[in-house]
Amino acid sequence: MPSVHSILNIGRWALFSSQTALQVTGNNIANVDTPGYSRQAVVFEEGISLDASCGQIGTGVYAKEVIRYFNEFIEEQYNTKASTQERWYTQYQALLSMDNLFNESMSQGINSATSQFWADWQDLSLRPEDYSAREALMGDTQNLLSAIRSTRNDIVRQQEQMDDYITQEVEEVNKILEEIAALNLQIQVHDIPGQNNANSLYDNRALLVRELAEKLDIDFVDSGGGDVTILTKAGHTLVDGSQVFEIKFEGSKTMKELAEGSTFDGEIFFDGSDDFEYTLEVVTGGQVSNASTAAVFRVSLDGGRTWMKDDDGNDLHYSARPEGGKVSVGDLTIWFGIDGDPSTAPANQLSAGDTFTIVPKTGLYWYENTSTCMNITPQIYGSGTDNQRRLIGGSLAGYFNFRDHYVGGYLEKLDAFAESMIWEVNRLHSQGAGLQNFNHVIGTYSVDLDNTALVSNSTGLAFGDKIQSGSSMVYIYSASTGELASSASYGPLDFGAAAGIQNFDPSQHSLEDVRDAYNRTFGNFLTADIVSGRLRIQSESGYEFAFGTDTTGLNAALGINTFFDGSDAATMGLNVNTESDLDLICAGHVNGAGEANPGDNTAALAIAGLQYEEVTIRTAFTGPTSQTLEEYFNVLVGTVGGDTANAEFNYLYHKALADDLDARQEETAGVNLDEEMSNLIKFQSTYTAAAKLIQAAEDMLQTILTLKS
């Protein structure tokens, strides 16, 4: 039967329930601006009903649990979009500064300096013997070199800045992973679903997951409570419950993956650095050696999607060499040795299909344990698509993509621009004549192997791939009269034919052969030798010499009678001889009669004409293209602007999607002050009513006690 005590209990539980609801409502109001806070609510449940003669009578209400409003499905979508948004935002902000760097309309940059350089050669062609024209050319050339070096240095500084940002982000990611794992452990201890929901811990974890998603792309797998697994989109586990898997930002590495049945017992080694990864695949098995039967490999800069090609579109092939014959590939020199001893060639052969990866830069690695790591550095293929087995989202992907794909590509193109200008100017200048002849000259480009064919990629000759078969003319003059020394004092270099004159063949002839050809052809007038891998030519007493038509490009490749020195934007400079002596600037040429006539402007006109001549410019990543130097640089400037606009578009597009998802989550989890104020009034009234119910029960009890007395 119902009793006064039942009424008191109903009032008491109603009072406690209203008090709990008021406390939760007050907590919602207090945290209206707290990041990551999800609105909470009390779930009320009717008390048990008791049988009575008049029917079942309820026993009131009690607060069953406190729940949080949170849409897991929307949150997962938001984190995915937030990762993509942050990637493009990071790239856009970084590219803005790069776009300003290449904004030629705002400053006197490379374009204007290049135009002035061509104009100075045109002016020199009008006044070949005028020293003021030569001075102007030298001064404006220094301006051009300064503009190229300054631009490259600014690009490199931004690239290095990315390393600092990446280091900070990696540290923050590992810290977040530790905090999430710790929260998972706390949730396992405190969370009892339906009774003691660890809402605050869940909120803290969700906020950390959001922060993590802004730094890298993730998948969130929740099996309930603290049993949560967080992986990258590529499947690398970052957190598994309370266990953490670390990521590290580390220096260059090499890796190998041998074909089935391969017994190769060596390792790959390299010197140099590059912004791209090198994938080497053995196409013809064989020994590592300097012989013609050595194993052959090809190289890819985008993980094997595309392969480096020659100007005819064929895959470039390289021989597998030991340290004594290491080959030049892109910006690296590569060879094979044994573990712990790079100078010793491996005993076992390479097999077709053996694959090696060189990461000649700092990269991002996921550690499954202390000894096993995997390369997860973001990578963009030549087609412009992402390597889905690596990171593809978050600020880390943005920083890496900017550093490697964008800046790496810009640097490669700037280097290609500088390399082509150096070669094309030197090719013409090396066949020209200045205001005085030489009595000695030493090349500015050296080889690593004096006795190896100059076209071989083992020589280390910067422009060795530019040399062609043909002839190279040299003229010897009397120092006193300026006339040709004799009928035997001029002609093409003789590379030792049994009968007649043998032309130069880059696939056969080495630097030693070039030295011998000079001594064989003009041994009575000059002496050639090799000093530290460079060709040196010295005339005998009473003689001097000049250079003529050179269809081989040999002089330009060796740095003989050249205008520029260096081989890319970082090393580009003036030939020390030309820089120190204006007479050695070649405006004219030696004619068929061996004469270098005053006022001759053949070389100056030819160099000035390069402004409008299409030349072949190649990069290791994109291959060859035929354009004028000015067009090529303008395309580079346009590419930077286009990349910046594309990054801005993608950022704004994905931001709109992420903002919409965030707003939808806010509709569920956000605190509405109007609603909470309404709840506050409602629960306050309930509390008051419960208190009056208790008061009524107490009055009833007093009445009963009065009757008994």
Runs of H (alpha helix) within 191-289: 199-213
Helix, strand and coil in the chain, % to nearest 5: 45, 20, 35
- Chain centroid offset of residue 227 CA: 36
Domain annotation covers residue 333: yes
The pLDDT value given to residue 2:
59
- 457 and 547 together in one domain: yes
Beta-strand relationship, 363-367 and 573-574: unpaired
How many Cβ atoms from other residues are within 10 Å of residue 261's Cβ? 7
Beta-strand relationship, 253-257 and 355-359: antiparallel
User: Dihedral sign, CA of 692, 696, 699, 701?
Assistant: negative
Q: What CA–CA distance (Å, rounded) separates 433 from 587? A: 6
Tokens 């030629």 sit at which residue?
Answer: 104
Q: Could you say which of 361, 391, 415 is where a domain stops?
A: 361
- 353 and 446 together in one domain: no
Q: What CA–CA distance (Å, rounded) separates 160 from 202? A: 38
In order of 176, 288, 366, the CA distances from 82 in angstroms are 17, 49, 22
Stretch 340-349: mean pLDDT: 93
Beta strands in 109-203 (DSSP E): none
The pLDDT value given to residue 596:
82
Q: Which residues contact 51 (CB under 8 A, 6 or more apart)?
A: none
Inter-axis angle of helices 72-101 and 199-213, nearest 10? 30
User: Dihedral sign, CA of 205, 210, 215, 217?
Assistant: positive
Backbone angles phi, psi at 112, to 5 degrees: -70, -35
39 has pLDDT over 60: yes
Stretch 488-502: mean pLDDT: 79
Q: Which residues contact 161 (CB under 8 A, 6 or more apart)?
A: none
Phi-psi region of 608 (alpha: psi -120 to 50; beta: other; left: phi over 0): alpha
Report the SS3 class of residue 574. strand
Task: Find the Cα–Cα–Cα–Cα dihedral 305, 311, 315, 318, rounded to 10°.
Answer: -120
pLDDT in tens, 506-530: 999 999 999 999 999 999 999 999 9
The pLDDT value given to residue 42:
92
Q: What is the DSSP letter of 503?
A: P
Domain annotation covers residue 24: yes
The pLDDT value given to residue 690:
83
Percent pLDDT > 70 in the chain is: 98
Confidence tier at 225 by pLDDT (50, 70, 90): confident
- 444 and 554 together in one domain: yes
Q: What CA–CA distance (Å, rounded) separates 67 from 40? A: 5
Domain annotation covers residue 64: yes
pLDDT in tens, 359-369: 999 999 999 88
Domain annotation covers residue 61: yes
Beta-strand relationship, 363-367 and 247-250: antiparallel
* Structural domain that includes position 516: 439-560
The pLDDT value given to residue 103:
77
Record the tokens describing residue 695, joined without a space: 């008061």
In order of 351, 450, 665, the CA distances from 209 in angstroms are 46, 60, 15
Number of domains in the chain: 3
Q: Could you say which of 509, 543, 560 is where a domain stops?
A: 560
The pLDDT value given to residue 60:
84
Stretch 231-258: mean pLDDT: 94
Confidence tier at 311 by pLDDT (50, 70, 90): confident
69 has pLDDT over 90: yes
User: Using an 8 Å Cβ cutoff, are 651 and 86 in contact?
Assistant: no
β-partners of residue 504 are 470
Q: Name residue 669's amino acid.
A: A
Burial of 140: CB neighbours in 10 Å, binned 0-12, 13-18, 19+ = buried
- Considering the entire predicted model, what is its pTM? 0.90
How many Cβ atoms from other residues are within 10 Å of residue 610's Cβ? 21
62 has pLDDT over 70: yes
Domain annotation covers residue 27: yes
pLDDT in tens, 315-325: 999 999 999 99
Q: What CA–CA distance (Å, rounded) separates 114 from 118? A: 6
Q: Which residues contact 62 (CB under 8 A, 6 or more apart)?
A: 13, 16, 17, 44, 45, 47
The pLDDT value given to residue 232:
96
pLDDT in tens, 649-679: 999 999 999 999 999 999 999 999 999 999 9
Q: What CA–CA distance (Å, rounded) separates 701 from 692? A: 14
The pLDDT value given to residue 533:
95
Record the tokens describing residue 589, joined without a space: 């040429």
Backbone angles phi, psi at 108, to 5 degrees: -85, 95
Q: What CA–CA distance (Å, rounded) separates 296 from 352? A: 9
Stretch 41-61: mean pLDDT: 83
Q: What CA–CA distance (Å, rounded) separates 39 from 679? A: 13
The pLDDT value given to residue 236:
96
Q: Could you say which of 514, 545, 560 is where a domain stops?
A: 560
pLDDT in tens, 528-562: 999 999 999 999 999 999 999 999 999 999 999 99
Q: What is the DSSP letter of 26?
A: H
Q: Which of 339, 342, 165 is nearest to 270 (CA)?
A: 342
What does the H/E/C string look like for 288-338? CCCCCCCCEEEEECCCCCCCCECCCCCECCEECCCHHHCEEECCEEEEEEE
Q: Which of 361, 295, 354 is nearest to 330 (CA)?
A: 361
Burial of 627: CB neighbours in 10 Å, binned 0-12, 13-18, 19+ = middle
Average of per-residue pLDDT values in the chain? 92
Inter-axis angle of helices 131-190 and 110-126, nearest 10? 160
Runs of H (alpha helix) within 510-574: 511-522, 554-558
Q: What CA–CA distance (Å, rounded) separates 448 from 466? A: 17
Backbone angles phi, psi at 132, to 5 degrees: -65, -35
Burial of 162: CB neighbours in 10 Å, binned 0-12, 13-18, 19+ = buried
β-partners of residue 636 are none
User: Using an 8 Å Cβ cutoff, are 216 and 396 in contact?
Assistant: yes
pLDDT in tens, 559-612: 999 999 999 999 999 999 999 999 999 999 998 888 888 789 999 999 999 999
- Determine which helix (DSSP H) or strand (DSSP E) holds 367, and give its type and residue range: strand 363-367
Domain annotation covers residue 292: yes
- Chain centroid offset of residue 413 CA: 14
The pLDDT value given to residue 47:
83
Highest averaged pLDDT of the listed ranges 41-45, 109-113, 221-225, 229-233? 229-233
Domain annotation covers residue 517: yes
User: Using an 8 Å Cβ cutoff, are 424 and 603 in contact?
Assistant: no
The pLDDT value given to residue 704:
80
Record the tokens describing residue 631, joined without a space: 């067009």
Q: What CA–CA distance (Å, rounded) separates 299 from 291? A: 20
Q: What CA–CA distance (Å, rounded) separates 319 from 325? A: 9
Domain annotation covers residue 264: yes
pLDDT in tens, 689-699: 888 888 888 78
Q: What is the DSSP letter of 380?
A: B
Report the SS3 class of residue 523. coil
DSSP string, 627-653: E-HHHHHHHHHHHHHHHHHHHHHHHHH
The pLDDT value given to residue 707:
76
